[in-house]
Structure 1
Amino acid sequence: MYKVVTLMSCLFRYAIEVNRVPAGNWVLIEGIDQPIVKTATITSVSQTEDAYIFRPLKFNTSSVIKIAVEPVNPSELPKMLDGLRKANKSYPLLSTKVEESGEHVILGTGELYLDSVMHDLRKLYSDIEIKVADPVVSFCETVVETSSLKCFAETPNKRNKITMIAEPLEKGLAEDIENESVKISWTRKRLGEFFQTKYDWDLLAARSIWAFGPETTGPNILVDDTLPTEVDKSLLSTVKDSIVQGFQWGTREGPLCDEPIRNCKFKILDAVIANESIHRGGGQIIPTSRRVAYSAFLMATPRLMEPYCFIEVQAPADCVSAVYTVLARRRGHVTQDIPVPGSPLYTIKAYLPAIDSFGFETDLRTHTLGQAFCLSVFHHWQIVPGDPLDKTIVIRPLEPQPATHLAREFMIKTRRRKGLSEDVSINKFFDDPMLLELAKQDVMLNYPM
């Protein structure tokens, strides 16, 4: 338990110690900074009634730009880690993580945001020299069709077997889950009504939703589509938590390049569960659930998704063509181009892939001789053109790729950066019986064995 040591009130540049602060004031509190990361609710120790937390902060943008950092002097790593912890507390939208390759990654909303973070990290929080890698973006993985066949996986002890398929979600449903227009904590009746009325699901499917993932507001759904005549529902319910955990784990790190899965519905079609509880523990079910989710995903025409920014540019009429040129060179597309009433300016609204937005502002100023100004904010996710698993595509270094090769290029480069093998190996996700089933059905596989 942590205790409040000092209360201080801010007065211009001075912090004046006080013994009490009435509601509605800004206050500095000393002694409780250790356990708090972003937000917290502070209560008194002697409080007997239930404490309700303040609603966590919600933002209209996401942290999709990431940079890898490391200290110039390796012995100063602990200082940098301490600085990262402090920066994480100071910036509400910032998040930090360590990749499997060991690199420390900072996620922010854009170039200027990350510039400010790095300035504070170097000068204020750690006071050391820090090297920064080129910025990259987060991707998502999705599917565009229903799985071409029912995918199954057996647990290591061969006593349990789970069968699943994957398919894309209805348009707008992923955003509804993320914006919490629908919550998994609702009663089954209320969930059923929501999906029935808004997305035209049948009542049985709508009431059989097990989880959203990853976390409780992730844009993927796990549905129990088994029939009581074929599957022992009481046995299945005993392993529900383990299957959900495997699904959450799988959707947090997809099979293409360890990025989150988005906009997918996973349906459990069949399950054979061992009668003895010792044979159906979490250690058996969780990895199997994740593996079958991956195999169903790979059979459903997987695609990569990239973040798109909404750009608003204000420029004089004679600079509009230059703005179009800069946007076209970066895969941007203009949605609106209107004059500002009563002024010589034009407002140009466009969508631009976040991966092509690095240096956009500088480029824009150069081409318009400093006359154009732009605002950018994360807007939506969009599928990257091309098949990420098409092995006929050869990625040549230092050459710009045609549009249809982009998905493959992004996947391979992301896998390299994370220290993963060059290509997706299906041996990890498909059991031997499943591979035999694929061979029987003569399914053409693009993936290396």
Structure 2
Amino acid sequence: MDTPGHTNFQDEVVASMAMSDGVVLFVDVVVGLTQHVERMLKHAIQDKLSVVLVVNSMDRLVVELKLPPADAYHKLRFCIEDINETMEKLYDSCATEVESRTYFSPLKGNVLFCSSLFRMMFTLESYAAVYAEMHENSFDPKVLAKCLWGDLYFNADTGGFQKTPPDADQPRSFVQFVLEPIYKVFAHCIGEEKEDLASTLAEVGIYLHKKDYELDAKGLCRKVFAQYFGVGGGLPSFIDMVVKHIANPKENAAAKVEALYAGDQDGAVAADMKSLDHTGYLMLHTVKQFHRPDCRSFDVFGRVMSGTIFRGDRVKILGENYSLDDDEDMAIREVQNLWIYEGRYRVEVSHVPAGNWVLIGGIEGSIKKTSTITTASNDEEVEIFRPLRFCTTPVIKVAIEPLQPAELPKMVDGLRKIDRAYPLAKTKVEESGEHVIMGTGEIFLDCILHDLRRLYGDLEIKVADPVVEFCETVVETSSLKCFAETPNKKNKIYMVAEPLEKGLGEDIEKGKVKIEWENRRMSDYMTKNYDWDLLAARSIWAFGPEVNGPNVLVDDCLPSEVNKSLLAQTKDSLVQGFQWATKEGPLCDERIRSVKFKILNATLAEDAVMRGGGQIIPTARRVAYSAFLLATPRLMEPVMFSDIECPADCVAAIYNVLSRRRGHVVRDLPKPGSPMYSVHAYLPAMESFGFETDLRTHTSGQAMCQSMFDHWQHVPGDPLDRSILLRPLEPAPAPHLAREFMLKMR
């Protein structure tokens, strides 16, 4: 399954990893590992997927950089070693056991050298097999393959390999036997006349059709390499590498189930999935929907984890919000079609057994993002596969409306289809009635708007200027103990707000801390990592606004002052009020982030009717707002990480462009073995619109940039400072930005 390489489409990569048993990592030998690929690699390691490496664009070393073969070897070796160093860091950050770690080496057979442009690919073993075939299999190609990498040299006198060069100018074995023949093919195809080339190629057993000699240099090289490396330019070597180094569905089934399935790992359903039993309970995990050619309906793409799905089956579809306690997000449908999906083609089939990908027709009506599918007659306790964990956040948003107001229903229907087609896209209706689309970047939103106009809506739309999602936070503890009284005057709640410890919000979001943990485990984690006192750590009631939200509600009441049994009975209502408050903050209805709310005291009515949800929930929200506003509130904005590649003479221009947009460079380094510089910079997302175009303009199109969401930071200035005077059509100075953003967002 091919996935996009652009940073804006990380959601597609994450969705495909959930379906897969392994990853083929393509790296351009000149560019090396980018930050985007590094992030995706970390996700693959967390999902415990096998990884193999393809070093691509070898032709650039010859044609573009014009490196001599010996230097090309060093560049290839550096590229692989650099990737291994990065893998080491990622394994350490994921706490992967040493036995489970994989490193790349051509000698292990998990590295493939390739040029997609010229359609050639080979591993050391497949290249050695070419030599063995030329010499009528007079030696074992596996033995030769072990001698084709590293500091080994061929001694023509003894006919063997040795660790020291026999002559001063003797090249390494990889250079002599692998790179030099490839260089010679390029030289002959580009430089020789037709008649001379035919005789040269005939010497190595390559015979081309007369028409092939009339092709341009690129086409001619492709034809030569196709014969030199065999079928498809060496395609069998790629297949052999994948088969040997990536676990098959049966071997990987247990690890896949542990990573994805939220239910009982020892139950009958999990046992069938772990053994990949095609006769067991049907369990199917879907992650994506593809539209049909008419763009009116969708088909659901997923993987059969156990059992066999047949056309005509009645299936139970469990959505992301389904649980054993709440089965509202469930529907029963009949499977109308089954296909094996092959890019632009679909092969219709009658049934699909466990361990395969499948495209299902006729059930999309009740699926939004991901889902779990089982047979309608399954009486076992089935829980869902976990929703996808994305390593980025959609922080860029645009408001849209149809050009013709009468086409509003058409646009709303198109937005529902967008929600299905893009795993990470979010669409919502603001209180003002605006329809808002949220995405990861400009290209992501461009694709969505194109699909809405041409595929799903077939209408013209007006698009507002893009803005970003903000967060609200505090920098001090509330200056007063705040209280709010319920409308019936029978209950009072006292609360203060203070900043959360640095890093705790991120840990909660990443799932390193979970609210389901028992008290002892939670208190151990909080006291050890964040210096919480034992009592506070054991009194954590909730995270908000979701179960993995970056805000904490703590019960800080003393039993001598508060009736704890009454407080425990109203806990659910207080938590709902807290989560409502953190979902829509008081400054500009944006989410609250990194704030700890402490309940200090509560006066509650003895009569349960007087302290029902209708009384407590809005009151808890009001008191949370009061505590928040008295704790020096601030706005937070998303910051993008930009990975820029450019020639050395363009670095100064990049500094200028970034400084005008409140950005700053973290580091700039030359790329070893290439004339390019790599510049890493942070740029506020609010200033990132048009950044790539601006960058290309100032560098004459020589700079390439990839930006992705990285972290949140405070917007300079106080949003509640009424003394700030904002003038229309004038850019606000830095200390006034928070006030300007807040007023414009409201």
Common fold: TM-score over 0.5: yes
Q: Residues of 2 paired with 1:365 and 1:283: CA distance?
A: 57
Aligned to 1:205: 536
1:313 is matched with 644
Q: Does 2:356 match 1:36?
A: no
SS in 2 for 1:158: coil
Given candidates 346, 353, 372, the residue that maps to 1:15 is 346
Q: Quick one: which of 392, 401, 404 aligns to 2:735?
A: 404
SS of the residue 2:586 aligns to? coil
1:30 counterpart letter in structure 2: G
Aligned partner (choices 597, 603, 619) of residue 272 of structure 1: 603
The 2-side partners of 1:397 and 1:385 are apart by 20
2:553 match: secondary structure? strand
2:153 corresponding residue in structure 1: none
Q: Secondary structure of the residue that 1:21 maps to in structure 2?
A: strand
1:194-215 per-residue CA deviation (whole Å, 9 max, x = no partner) reads 1111111111100100100001
Distance 1:371 1:386 in 2: 36
Matched with 1:191 is 522
**2:698 equivalent in structure 1:** 367
Matches within 5 A, 1:388-403: 388-403=719-734
1:157 pairs with 2:488: yes
> What SS is found at the alignment partner of 2:597?
strand
Aligned to 2:689: 358
Other-structure match for 2:336: 5
Give the letter for the 1:163 counterpart.
Y
Alignment of 1:41-60 (within 5 A): 41-60=372-391
Kindly state the Cα deviation for residue 322 of structure 1 after the two structures are TM-superposed.
0.4
Aligned to 2:419: 88
Residue aligned with 1:176, SS: helix
- Number of residues of Structure 1 aligned to a counterpart in Structure 2: 415
Correspondence for 1:421: none
In 2, the alpha carbon distance for the partners of 1:96 and 1:170 equals 32
**Equivalent runs, 1:324-335 vs 2, <5 Å:** 324-335=655-666
Unmatched 5+ residue regions in structure 2?
A: 1-331
Q: 1:275 Cα shift?
A: 0.5
Instruction: Work out which of the two has the higher radius of gyration on C-alpha atoms and give 1 or 2.
Output: 2
Counterparts of 1:35 and 1:214 in 2: how far apart (Å)?
25
2:508 to 177, 190, 214: 177
Secondary structure, in 3 states, of the residue corresponding to 2:495? strand
Counterpart of 2:478? 147
Counterpart residue type for residue 469 of structure 2: S
Give the C-alpha shift of residue 25 in structure 1: 2.7
Aligned to 1:287: 618
User: Which residue identity is paired with 1:363?
Assistant: D
> Are 1:228 and 2:228 counterparts?
no
**Letter of the aligned partner of 2:690 in structure 1?**
G
3-state SS of 1:399 partner: coil
Residue identity matched to 2:377:
S
Distance across 1 between alignment mates of 2:363 and 2:494:
49
* Residues 101-133 of structure 1: CA deviation (Å, up to 9, x unaligned): 000000000000000011111111111111111
- State which of 99, 106, 114 in structure 1 corresponds to 2:430: 99
**Structure 2 counterpart SS, 1:390:** coil
User: For residues 136 and 50 of structure 1, what CA distance do their matches in structure 2 show?
Assistant: 45
Q: Using the alignment, how far apart are the partners of 2:665 and 2:346 within structure 1?
A: 49
Cα distance between partner residues in 1 of 2:647 and 2:509:
38
Aligned-partner Cα distance in 2 for 1:318–1:303: 40
Mapped partners of 2:333, 2:731: distance in 1: 55
Query: In 1, Cα distance between the equivalents of 2:677 and 2:588?
Result: 41
Identify unmatched segments of 5+ residues in structure 1.
416-449
Secondary structure of the 2:599 match is strand
Q: Which moved more, 1:358-367 or 1:76-85?
A: 76-85
CA–CA separation in structure 1 for the residues paired with 2:392 and 2:736: 28
Secondary structure at 1:375's aligned position in 2?
strand
Q: Could you tell me how far apart the structure 2 residues matched to 1:126 and 1:367 are? A: 37
Assess, with a 3 A threshold, how the Cα gap between structure 1 residues 12 and 208 changes in structure 2: closer, same or farther: closer
Q: CA deviation at 1:36?
A: 0.8
1: CA distance, partners of 2:520 / 2:351: 47
Q: Which amino acid aligns with 1:32?
A: I
TM-score, normalization by structure 2: 0.55
CA positional deviation for 1:10: 2.1
SS at match of 1:34: helix
Task: Tell me how far apart the structure 2 counterparts of residues 50 and 152 of structure 1 sit (CA, whole Å).
Answer: 45
Matched with 2:109 is none
Alignment of 1:100-115 (within 5 A): 100-115=431-446
The one-letter amino acid of 1:252's match is: K
Matching residue of 2:116: none
Runs of 4+ residues over 6 Å off in structure 1: none
- Residue aligning to 2:263: none
Check 1:11–1:305 CA distance in 2 against 1; reply closer, same or farther (3 A cut).
closer
If asked which structure has higher relative contact order (CA below 8 Å, sep 6+), I would say 1
**Post-superposition CA distance 1:201-256 (Å, at most 9, x none):** 11110010010000111100000000101100001111111111100000000000
RMSD (CA atoms): 0.9
**Residue 48 (structure 1) shift:** 2.3
SS in 1 for 2:721: coil
**Rounded Cα–Cα distance in structure 1 between residues aligned with 2:348 and 2:556:** 61
CA distance in 1, matches of 2:659, 2:445: 25
Please give the alpha-carbon distance, in whole angstroms, between the structure 2 residues aligned to 1:15 and 1:343.
43
Match of 1:339 among 670, 676, 691: 670
Q: Distance in 2 between matches of 1:13 and 1:412?
A: 48
- Aligned-partner Cα distance in 2 for 1:11–1:158: 66
- Which residue matches 2:568? 237
SS for the counterpart of 2:527 is helix
Alpha-carbon displacement from aligned partner over 1:354-393 (angstroms, at most 9, x marks no partner): 0000000000000000000001000000000100000000
Q: Percent identity?
A: 68
By how many angstroms is 1:24 displaced? 3.3
The alpha carbon displacement at 1:12 in A equals 4.9
Q: Distance in 2 between matches of 1:355 and 1:139?
A: 10
Q: Distance in 2 between matches of 1:395 and 1:166?
A: 30
Establish whether residue 76 from structure 1 lines up as the match of residue 396 from structure 2: no
Separation of aligned partners in 2, 1:108 and 1:131: 17
Question: Partners of 1:10 and 1:221 in 2: how far apart?
Answer: 45
CA distance in structure 1 between the partners assigned to 2:382 and 2:457 by the alignment: 36
Return the match for 2:745 from 407, 414, 421: 414
Flag the structure with higher helix content: 2
Report the Cα offset of residue 52 of structure 1. Answer: 3.2
1:117 aligns with 2:448: yes
SS at match of 1:56: coil
SS state of the match for residue 41, structure 1? Answer: strand
> How far apart in 2 are the matches of 1:278 and 1:30?
50
CA deviations on 1:315-367 (whole Å, 9 max, x unpaired) are 11111000000000000011011111111111110100000000000000000
CA distance in 1, matches of 2:466, 2:429: 16
Change (3 A) 1:328 1:76: same
1:417-428 to 2 correspondences below 5 Å: none
